[in-house]
Amino acid sequence: MTAAAVTLGALLGLSFGSFVNVVAVRVPQHLSIVRPPSRCPQCEATIRARDLVPVLSWIVLKGRCRDCGSKISPRYPVVEALTSLLFVAVALVLGAVWILPAYWAFIVVTMALALIDIDHKLIPNRVLFPGLAVTAPLLLMGALADGHPGWWLRGVAGGAGYFVGLLALALIAPRGGLGMGDVKLALLLGLFLGYLGWEHVVLGAFVAILLGGLVSVVLLATRRKGRRDTIPFGPYLVAGAYLTIAWGDQILDWYLG
């Protein structure tokens, strides 16, 4: 069953990775994610169905538009491949359980939010709140099917706890350190970390702060960022959650042992 879940995750991840790209590009521009069909940003030609195959189409077209020959950013196939790998990873970690679709949906939402934050330094409510509205019921249904309704309640408490913790940090941190978008993102991250355990919420926050601090030091040291520049923290929060879901049990066993 786990092998089937991994295979399904790999295929679904590619498809949903393409959807992540659409959301990350269109939502900040206040455009519909459904219409119009995907177009070349240079010549505005509608992209043909055969050119929308995740990763493969970009390779076949050699990263260029079929109509005008303009370059297509390699970020599109990278995001598609990364989403597929994350789907596979979470299937390997969790196994063939009923909560797996909820964690796949969690990846889709958080990937889109991380990309938007990187590009625009923004965690849009138009993605976060619908994402919560979809993933929280999915997780509840999975928890009930797996026989762990109490874990879902712990996840809700974990989301609230993570939210309050980041809100406190945002209020005492220097201006520009943490935004309210990051604080609201903690609701979603804490829900899925808290489902696994309270210690996972704490570890996810610690890993996020550690990653953000290390990367910020490197950017400042290499002068790619100045002290007054704003560095989006959402991607580090998401990365901290991903790493905790993947290796949290091993890290906690090592630390507590």
The span from the CA of 126 to the CA of 68, in Å, is 33
Residue type, 174: P
Confidence grade of residue 175 (pLDDT, cut at 50, 70, 90)? low
**pLDDT reading at 127 higher than 90:** yes
pLDDT at residue 141, as a whole number: 97
Backbone phi and psi for residue 39, each to the nearest 5 degrees, phi listed first: -135, 160
C-alpha distances (whole Å) from 178 to each of 181, 182, 203 are: 8, 6, 18
**pLDDT reading at 139 higher than 80:** yes
Structure tokens at 63: 């990263």
**pLDDT reading at 226 higher than 80:** no
pLDDT at residue 107, as a whole number: 98
Q: What is the mean pLDDT of residues 77-99?
A: 96
Each residue of 182-205: pLDDT tens digit? Answer: 999 999 999 999 999 999 999 999
The span from the CA of 1 to the CA of 227, in Å, is 51
The span from the CA of 200 to the CA of 158, in Å, is 9
Cis-peptide into 41, omega within 30 deg: no
The domain ranges of the chain are: 1-96, 108-257
The span from the CA of 14 to the CA of 77, in Å, is 9
What predicted TM-score, i.e. pTM, was given to this entire model?
0.94
| Helices and strands (H, E) in the chain, number of each type | 9, 0
Structure tokens at 94: 């969790």
Beta carbons within 8 Å of 181's beta carbon, 6+ residues apart: 117, 122, 123, 124, 128, 234
